[in-house]
């Protein structure tokens, strides 16, 4: 493309508007979420573990209730 | 890629055993080995845990059995968690509050929901019970709700349902390798 028609690439660059980074060096957020900015820290693991325990506990209580409904 | 405001998958919302606990799950994520033919110099790194030569690939799959992300070309010796770490730093975005269901080969974090380690998957225990009690199943289908094989605690129940929901990624791998047998061919040099 650059050999035969260097101007043709302008059709794909959207006028260069998307090349501007308003927060250089900062993680970019969009509707699809963000990328990681490093290894998972212990605090995040602890939170996720507590969250999993909460899910498991709520799931267990609902399961016990469903069993009672089925047996009654 | 899935977005922050994407609706809950009907696969999740339509089943009481999954909703509301897995409402924020995007799908399943796992690694799969595909046979490869590396150069002699690279072959040592391509040996997987089964002794074969392969490339390890990381896939994210939605509950509608669509690929959302695929990373290929890593050595067979690469761990799934290492591929995820690389991907999440480079080009795998995950919306805040959302997560993928993964197996115990990954570590727990905001974006990955991992089963409890050291807790048996009840699916396997049911399979074992079914083998031993095949005749009994014909007589009493309700063996599946027998007190003997019910989940005994919250961890077992969680792992059972987690594995059941995550199974979609295993199904997709099965379909993929059944459609294209070349992915399963052993390298001959």
Stronger pLDDT, B169 or B187, i.e. the higher one: B169
Q: Is the Cβ of B110 closer than 8 Å to some Cβ of chain A?
A: yes
Query: Which residues on adjacent β-strands are paired with residue B61?
Result: B28, B67
Q: Does B145 have pLDDT greater than 60?
A: no
**Mind listing the pLDDT tens digit for each residue in A3-47?**
666 666 555 555 444 445 455 554 445 566 667 766 778 899 999
Query: Which pair of structure tokens corresponds to residue A27?
Result: 């993680």
Task: Report the C-alpha gap between A33 and B164 in whole angstroms.
Answer: 26
A residues 12-51 closer than 8 Å to B (CB): 30-40, 44-45, 47-49
Contact B89 A33 (CB under 8 A): no
Q: What angle do CA B43, B38, B59 make, to 5 degrees?
A: 100
The DSSP line for B24-67 is TEEEEEEEEEEE----TTTGGGGB-TTS-BEEEEEEEEETTS-E
What's the pLDDT score for residue A9? 54
With contacts defined as CB-CB under 8 Å, which chain A residues touch B4?
A: 31-33
**Mind listing the pLDDT tens digit for each residue in B100-113?**
999 999 999 999 99
Contact A31 B3 (CB under 8 A): yes
ipTM of the complex: 0.79
The pTM score is: 0.76
Contact (Cβ atoms closer than 8 angstroms) between residue B140 and residue A42: no
Task: Report the C-alpha gap between B59 and A12 in whole angstroms.
Answer: 29
With contacts defined as CB-CB under 8 Å, which chain B residues touch A32?
A: 1-4, 93, 95
What's the pLDDT score for residue B189? 54
């Amino acid at each position: 493309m650059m050999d035969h028609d260097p101007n043709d690439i302008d059709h794909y660059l959207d006028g260069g508007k998307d090349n501007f980074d308003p927060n250089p060096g900062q993680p970019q957020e969009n509707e699809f979420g963000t990328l990681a900015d490093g290894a998972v820290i212990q605090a995040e693991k602890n939170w996720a573990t507590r969250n999993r325990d909460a899910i498991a506990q709520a799931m267990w209580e609902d399961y016990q209730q469903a069993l009672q409904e089925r047996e009654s | 890629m899935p977005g922050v405001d994407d609706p809950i998958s009907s696969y999740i919302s339509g089943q009481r055993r999954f909703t509301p606990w897995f409402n924020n799950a995007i799908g399943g994520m796992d690694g799969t080995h595909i046979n490869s033919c590396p150069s002699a110099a690279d072959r040592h790194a391509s040996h997987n845990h089964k002794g074969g030569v392969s490339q390890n690939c990381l896939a994210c799959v939605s509950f509608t059995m669509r690929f959302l992300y695929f990373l290929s070309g890593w050595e067979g010796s690469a761990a799934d968690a290492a591929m995820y770490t690389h991907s999440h730093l480079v080009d795998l975005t995950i919306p805040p509050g959302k997560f993928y269901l993964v197996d115990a080969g990954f570590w727990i974090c905001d974006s990955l929901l991992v089963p409890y380690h050291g807790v048996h998957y009840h699916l396997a225990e049911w399979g074992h019970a079914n083998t031993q009690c095949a005749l009994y199943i014909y007589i009493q289908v309700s063996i599946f709700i027998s007190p003997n094989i019910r989940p005994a605690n919250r961890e077992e129940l969680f792992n059972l349902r987690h594995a059941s929901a995550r199974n979609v990624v295993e199904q997709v791998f099965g379909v993929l390798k059944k459609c294209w047998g070349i992915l399963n061919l052993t390298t001959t040099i």
